[in-house]
Amino acid sequence: MAELHILADGLNARWSFTPGARLTELLRSHGTDFPTPCGGRGKCGKCAVTLSGHLSPPSPMEEQLGVRLACQTRLLGDAEAVMPRTLPMEGIELGTEDRLPVPHPMPGALGAALDLGTTTLALSLYDLSTGNCLARCGMLNPQTSVAADVMGRIAYALEHGVGSLRTSVRSAARALLARACGTCGTGPDAVQSMVVTGNTTMLTLFTGRDPAPLSRAPFRAEWLGDESLQEGETRLYLPPCMHAFVGADITCALLSSGVIREKGPALLVDAGTNGEMALWKEGELLVTSTAAGPAFEGAGISCGCGSVRGAIDRVWLEGGSFRVHVIGETRPIGLCGSGLMDAVAAGLEAGLVDETGSLEGPMEIAPGVCLLPEDIRSLQLAKAAIAAGVETLLETAGIRAGDVRTFCLAGGFGRHLRPRSALRIGLFPPELTPLTRVIGNAALQGAERMLTDIACLDEAREIAGKARHVSLGGNPAFSGHYMDRMLFPPS
pLDDT digits (tens, 9 = 90+) for 252-285: 999 999 999 998 999 999 987 788 999 999 999 9
Which amino acid is residue 70, in one-letter code? A
**pLDDT tens track for 73-127:** 999 999 888 877 665 666 676 766 788 999 999 999 999 999 999 888 999 999 9
Rounded Cα–Cα distance for residues 311 and 266 (Å): 34
Task: pLDDT band for 177, please (50, 70, 90 cuts).
Answer: very high
Instruction: Evaluate if residue 68 carries a pLDDT over 70.
Output: yes
**pLDDT tens track for 356-398:** 999 988 999 999 999 999 999 999 999 999 999 999 999 999 9
Please state which of the ranges 210-214, 240-244, 398-402, 410-414 shows the lowest mean pLDDT. Answer: 410-414
- The DSSP letter of residue 100 is -
Instruction: Evaluate if residue 295 carries a pLDDT over 80.
Output: no
Rounded Cα–Cα distance for residues 111 and 236 (Å): 10
Q: What angle do CA 169, 175, 178 make, to 5 degrees?
A: 145
Task: pLDDT band for 463, please (50, 70, 90 cuts).
Answer: very high
Rounded Cα–Cα distance for residues 160 and 198 (Å): 23
Query: What pLDDT, on a 0 to 100 scale, did the predictor assign at position 131?
Result: 95
Quick one: average pLDDT of 297-320? 85
User: Which helix (H) or strand (E) element contains residue 27?
Assistant: helix 23-29
Query: What pLDDT, on a 0 to 100 scale, did the predictor assign at position 33?
Result: 66
Q: End-to-end distance of the chain based on CA atoms, in angstroms?
A: 62
**pLDDT tens track for 211-258:** 999 998 888 899 999 999 998 889 999 999 999 999 999 999 999 999
Q: Please, what CATH class does the domain formed by 2-82 belong to?
A: alpha beta
Rounded Cα–Cα distance for residues 435 and 431 (Å): 8
The domains of the chain are located at: 2-82, 110-252
Q: Which CATH architecture has domain 110-252?
A: 2-Layer Sandwich (3.30)
Query: What pLDDT, on a 0 to 100 scale, did the predictor assign at position 425?
Result: 95
What predicted TM-score, i.e. pTM, was given to this entire model? Answer: 0.85
3-state secondary structure of 288: strand
Q: Are the C-beta atoms of residues 268 and 250 closer than 8 Å to each other?
A: yes
